[in-house]
Copies of this chain bind each other. A is one copy, B any other.
Amino acid sequence: MKLSLKISELIDALKTLPGIGPKSAKRMALSLLSSNKEIGLNLSKSIESAILSIQLCSKCFVLNDKEICEICSSSDRDNNSICVIESTSDLYSIEETSEFNGRYFVLNGLLSPIDNIGTDELRIEKLLDLIDAFNAKEVILALNSTLEGEATAYFLFDKLKKKDVVVTRIAQGVPAGGDLNYVDNNTLRRAISFRTELK
């Protein structure tokens, strides 16, 4: 027997979510249909309402529900440093650490020829504008330590030379709680090469 059309359509739609394959999508669909209708209808409504109300902040390009986001419009944040990130989710991860109190800028991806992301896709000019707007002194590159992240970091470093800013990059090394026996060679190599002095 084939699946009912509505169920197949639902499974196909769920498969568009990141990390969801056919088996998980089927499980989700049947769970949505078996449990309380209100829960599923609420999910449907939340998706629609979020999609229709969320926009990009016109200054830092973070996903939020205002024309200018909470961080860009806050007077409590430090104008001196701008943290450059790949996407909105990185902002939430960094905010959770409470280690940074400056401004953010969402780059819109990392240089990646395989995904057709070239230098034109990144919002370089907007970043330069934001540096001027806040009169920032430091640009922190908080990008993935992947090949794409490294390439993007060096590209940005080059572009930022014409501005009077210090360009820094978040540290690379052994993760917290990391056992050296289980750390890969590249990580260990960088941890040694970027060693810090105990004072």
Mark A residues whose CB is within 8 Å of B. Answer: 1-7, 9-10, 12-14, 16-20, 24, 26-34, 37, 39-51, 53-54, 63-66, 69-71, 87-89, 91-92, 95
Contact = CB atoms under 8 A, between A and B. Distances in A.
Contact of A32 (B1, B47, B95): B47
30 contacts: A1-B69, A4-B54, A4-B65, A5-B65, A6-B54, A6-B65, A7-B50, A9-B49, A9-B50, A13-B42, A13-B43, A13-B47, A14-B43, A16-B39, A16-B42, A17-B43, A18-B27, A19-B27, A27-B89, A29-B50, A30-B89, A32-B50, A33-B50, A33-B54, A37-B51, A40-B47, A41-B48, A44-B48, A44-B51, A45-B48
B70 A1 contact: yes
Q: How many copies does the complex hold?
A: 2
A54 B29 CA distance: 11
Return the 5 tightest CB-CB contacts between A and B, nearest first.
A13-B46, A44-B47, A44-B48, A10-B50, A13-B43
A126 B55 CA distance: 52
Contacts of A48: 40-41, 44-45
A64 B6 CA distance: 8
B54 A43 contact: no
Contacts of A92: 3, 26
A65 to B, nearest CB: 4
A48 B37 CA distance: 9
A8 to B, nearest CB: 9
Contacts of A19: 24, 27-28
B89 A46 contact: no
Given A30-B89, A50-B33, A4 B40 contact: no
A24 B46 CA distance: 16
A166 to B, nearest CB: 24
